[in-house]
Amino acid sequence: MIPNVAESNTEKAYALLKADAEKILKLIKVQMDNLTMPQCPLYEEVLDTQMFGLSREIDFAVRLNLVSEEEGKQLIDSLERQLNLLHEAAQRT
Amino acid sequence: MIPNVAESNTEKAYALLKADAEKILKLIKVQMDNLTMPQCPLYEEVLDTQMFGLSREIDFAVRLNLVSEEEGKQLIDSLERQLNLLHEAAQRT
């Protein structure tokens, strides 16, 4: 029973971080669709702040051994790749 | 053994959050002593960013049931009280 609880905590930590990364992606997508352009300083600021918040969460989870450094790095890398795709798509339209 | 690990994880989570709060306090203290005044926008921005980062960490820990909402709130409240004391001391000199 207890090992399952411990295991589910690391799974939950990863799932929460992934969900937070997806929330950022969604927020940026909504911003792009409706409000501002990627060149807008406000957009940059929102993105920087959100990425900083996520990086603090990930760093915290890594320090607690809930996710590995590699997993944390992959979460950030994957989010950045998806944001780049969004940027490129926005510039094409 | 395993219950101890689980317990020590919540203790570690709280200790990490407390250490991060103290780091912010130290950073702000160094800033006040050496660089800028509380009225400076740069100071406000650094403080806002750091508080946002800490609040994301605490929120994450609460969602994982590593610390209670009450403990998280107390950490932020205590940090804000100490920052206010710093402000007041800086304005008196």
The ipTM assigned to this model is: 0.72
* Percent of chain A at pLDDT exceeding 70: 83
A57 touches chain B (CB under 8 A): yes
Collapsing DSSP to helix, strand or coil, A66 comes out as: coil
- For residue A5, what pLDDT is reported? 52
Give the minimum alpha-carbon distance from B32 to chain A in angstroms, rounded to a whole number.
23
Residue positions counted in chain A:
93
Residue with tokens 């921005």: B45
- Please state the pTM of the whole predicted model: 0.77
Residues of A in contact with B53 (CB under 8 A): 52-53, 56
- For residue B91, what pLDDT is reported? 76
Residue with tokens 């980062």: B53
Q: Judge whether B16 and A64 are in contact, CB under 8 Å.
A: yes
Q: How many domains does chain B have?
A: 1
B54 to chain A: nearest residue by CA? A56
Residues of B in contact with A21 (CB under 8 A): none
At A18-58, the pLDDT tens digits run 999 999 988 888 877 776 555 666 777 788 889 999 999 99
CATH number of the structural domain spanning residue B8:
1.10.287.750
Cross-chain Cβ contact A49/B54 below 8 Å: no
Using the Cα atoms of residue A13, residue B55, residue B14 and residue B63 in order, give the sign of their dihedral: negative
Whole-angstrom distance, CA of residue A15 vs CA of residue A71:
11
Q: CA nearest B4: which of A18, A3, A33, A55?
A: A3
Query: Shortest CB distance from B57 goes to which of A6, A9, A56?
Result: A56
Whole-angstrom distance, CA of residue B30 vs CA of residue A85:
41
Whole-angstrom distance, CA of residue B35 vs CA of residue A43:
29
Residue with tokens 């998806």: A82
Whole-angstrom distance, CA of residue B68 vs CA of residue B15:
13
Residues in chain B, pLDDT under 70: 1-7, 35-41, 93
Give, in order, the Cα–Cα distances in Å from A63 to each of A3, B13, B41, B57, B63: 20, 9, 32, 12, 17
| Residue that wins the pLDDT comparison between A22 and A86 | A22
Q: What is the domain extent for residue B40?
A: 2-92
